[in-house]
Structure 1
Amino acid sequence: MTVTLDKSVEDFVATSRQLFIDGRWVDAASGKTFATPNPATGRPLAHVAEADAEDVERAVRAARRAFDGPWSRLTPSERGRRAPGNGQGRPSAVSTQLNTTNGVAHDGWWTRPVVTR
């Protein structure tokens, strides 16, 4: 089986991925990254930030602030509209990365997987 990634997905995974903490993309506190494999091919897919305890603490503090603020009072659809990358009718960077690292090659639209034989 041959797996073909759309150019936009290739460009996305070619860039080192950061952590999403407190509404911003940030490097891991340690600066470390690790390679994640493409389950569909076994080859390296992308380099992602390697979170450690300090990053987890930052994320937990940010989540608590968000929960104690207006975020917890938003409806799920309101939260979805405020999520990063939404609003253009295409998956966000987060959902694209999760989908691809779970072995689903696609062209950026959930309904059109790109797998050829």
Structure 2
Amino acid sequence: MLTDRETAIFEAGIKLGALYHQWVGTPISRKSAASVETAIEQAVILQPFVEEITVRLNRDLMTENTFGYSELSGLMFEVEIVTRVGFAYCRACLSPCETYPLMKVVECHEIPPVSRN
């Protein structure tokens, strides 16, 4: 049986992995980047255990092809997510690390329930 902390970590990782694989390759431009950031946030926040998510896309990496757009790549992502299971919280991120989009757990903690005497 997994602890709430372990489940919160798993949920953060699975959400980031799904986000990455779902959105990479999406046609994007500097003009549409803000609406894509919002769309990703609004889609992911609907999922179970997600408390917060922030998505920022690096517009400097968006170069236009012949048709006026580029494709979203993993190196463009700056994502931070917070998941909660029970009283356990996990903060994880997806961000570029040199030439690779790295997903990592930033912190995990548990907030004990308040006793009501």
Higher helix fraction (1 or 2): 1
Q: TM-score, normalised by structure 1?
A: 0.24
TM-score with structure 2 length normalisation? 0.24
Higher relative contact order (CA 8 A, sep 6+): 1
